[in-house]
Structures are given as C-alpha cells and as structure tokens.
Amino acid sequence: MRSTTSLMAVAAMLPFAFAHYNFEALIVNGEVTDAYEYVRQTNNSNSPVTDVTSTDMICNSGGLLSATMAKTKTYTVAPGDNVGFIVDASLSHPGPLSVWMSKAPDGTAANAYDGSGDWFKVYELTYSTINSEGIQWATYPSGTSGLSNFTIDLPSTLPAGDYLMRAEHVALHAASEVGGAQYYMGCAQLSVTGSGAGVPSPTTKIPGLYTGEEDGLVINIYYPIPTSYTAPGIATWPTDCVSHEANLEGQTFQGMCVGDDTASSDAASSGAVSSAAPTSTAAASAATSAATSAAPVAVTSAAAVVSAAPSSVVTSAETTATSAAAAATSSAASKCKKRKRSVV
Ligand SMILES: [Cu+2]
C-alpha cells in the first residue's frame, strides 16, 4: 500500500508533456473511422486547454476554423446507435471523462455549426473505486497508460438533426490550484435520423459549463488522499447518473450508468464500516444494509452494493482498518476490477 502511494507521488512529479492526447477518430457501431475524418482536427498538437472561459473549450483549439469544419465529414447515425472515440494515444492522465452534445440550429449543417447553442451532457465516467490508495479512475486503470477508446449508446429519444458530439477528459494531476486542471476535448459531427421526441435538459453554454472553481476541478488527488469525488458540471440526460466502468470498442455495451454512486456516499456517512462485524460476511451485509437503508427506494441492484464498498474502505483506512472490511470490499469490487484488468 505504501509503495503504491509513493509511486503515485513520484508519478505526479513526472513531466507530462509527452503524455497528452487527442480524441481523434469516431467509432460508430463498431466501425472505426480515420483520424480527423469525422472529428474536427486540433491545431495545437495534443496540448490541453486550461482556460475554461476560452471558446477553445468547445471543440479544442482550431475546432472552429472554417477550413477545419468544412473538411470534416458528418456521420449519419440513429438514436440508440453505439458511438465513441479513438484516443491518440491514451487517456494517460487521471480525471473524469464526459460526452456532450449540441444540436445545430435548423438549417445549419454540423460542419457549419460553431457550437454556440445549448449543450447537454449524455455521459459521465469517473472512478471505478476509491480506496486507501486514492481515486481509481475508470479511464486510467492501475498499471496501464489509460484507455485508448470508449463508446456510449446515443439516447434512444435523441431528436433528429445535425449535432456536435464532444468528448471531454479533464486531467487532474496538477489541479490542486485553480487553473491547474487540463481540458482535452474533441468534436465529432453527427447527423441524427429518426423521430426522437426527447427534450434534452439541463443545458449549458460552452464556455460557461465550468467556472473552474468546482470541487471536481480544484482538487489535490494525491494528498490528502481523497475519500470522494464529484464530477463538475451539469447532470446527464436522459438519466442523471455517473458511470464507474468504461464501455470499450468491441465490447458489449454495458450501459450509460454502470454502478450507482449515490448509495456509496450515503453508506459512508451512515458509518457502515465502523459498525461492521469482524467477519467478512457480516461486514458485507452491514455495507449492504447501510446502502439499502440509506436509499428510501429499495436498492436491489448488485451495482449499488458494489459501489457502496469503495467508500467503506476509505472510511476504514481513516479509522481502524479491519481486515474483514477490506475483504468484504475487495470481494464486492472484484467484478469491476477484473473487467478493468482485461482491458487496455
Ligand atoms: Cu499531458
């Protein structure tokens, strides 16, 4: 445990200039397109944006240049299609991943749209778990250099029209002070068919999606070791949820909301671990009952129990870590971790 922590501290000091990345290619229903064929190309190599008030926050630096927009193709998709991005080279920094969409005004093609309209968030992916070694980012599995692709299913009620679909990864390795977070994003151009009748909400403008001072953007992720994490920005549509496990290209889509973290914070505040009995079975049931009692609506999914465990282990590390609680946590979280290791 200690060696890993110190490794993380060392990693935090490494030069990250060679670890930047771009969202360079669109994936649609398993078809991987060429780099910058359907995604607007950046003109800043792979450097991040750091000013949340900049229009570069929309589609990265260069993404609003008319020549770039005009040469980028628009992919025709249907609501519910599986779409995603290829990353060059990988999401090699710690932090949350999200996907945003904005519909071009009627009569404006995606390749002529400047992204000045309303944006809504369809996907938010944060951590797989939070344990005594810190936040384990879902995009940055331990021992890897980060994911190099991901997919989502478009909302089934997405209204027809031309859209920008914007992937965003926030790097938090230097985010202990305001302005330290790095923003990596890329915009794909989509034309959505069908007759989706959904009304996306909430919405925001870009820039304007962040102040830069949100708890999820100003955080020392190394010390003191965080015990919770809340992604910045508006809630996702159509379901307000945060995912804790990535969907990868070529993998059966697992859903937009894998793992429920509302039960997790509730379980932590209700003291699930301190009341845990000395056997792993009892500890697990204590965590389970805490998660269940914390939520007035019956918590029946296994995912809720799994996500309740990570907070428990953090709590136990701060107080008196019982091996029983740790065992319960590791068994409960094993599903998530096993899948992570098979990836990348
Ligand atoms: Cu970097």
pLDDT digits (tens, 9 = 90+) for 227-265: 999 999 999 999 999 999 999 999 999 999 998 665 444
Encoded tokens for 230: 């809340």
Q: Say how many Å lie between the CA of residue 146 and the centre of ligand 1.
A: 12
Beta strands 75-77 and 182-192, pairing class: parallel
Please say which residue of 205, 227, 258 terminates a domain.
258
CA angle 76, 79, 84 (to 5 degrees): 70
Domain that holds residue 75: 2-258
What residues pair up with 131 in beta bridges, in sequence order? 134
Domain count, the chain: 2
Q: Say how many Å lie between the CA of residue 12 and the centre of ligand 1.
A: 11
Q: Are residues 142 and 52 in the same domain?
A: yes
Query: What gap in Å lies between CA 315 and CA 269, rounded to an integer?
Result: 9
CA 124 to chain centroid, in Å, comes to: 4
Q: Say how many Å lie between the CA of residue 48 and the centre of ligand 1.
A: 7
Please say which residue of 258, 274, 303 terminates a domain.
258
Helix (H, G, I), strand (E, B) or coil at 311: helix
Site of tokens 């305001």: 178
pTM attached to this predicted model: 0.74
All residues with CB under 5 Å from ion ligand 1:
16, 19-20
Q: Are residues 137 and 267 in the same domain?
A: no
Helix (H, G, I), strand (E, B) or coil at 151: strand
Please say which residue of 224, 242, 258 terminates a domain.
258
Q: Are residues 55 and 81 in the same domain?
A: yes
pLDDT digits (tens, 9 = 90+) for 124-166: 999 999 999 999 999 999 999 999 999 999 999 999 999 999 9
pLDDT digits (tens, 9 = 90+) for 19-75: 799 999 999 999 999 999 999 999 999 999 999 999 999 999 999 999 999 999 999
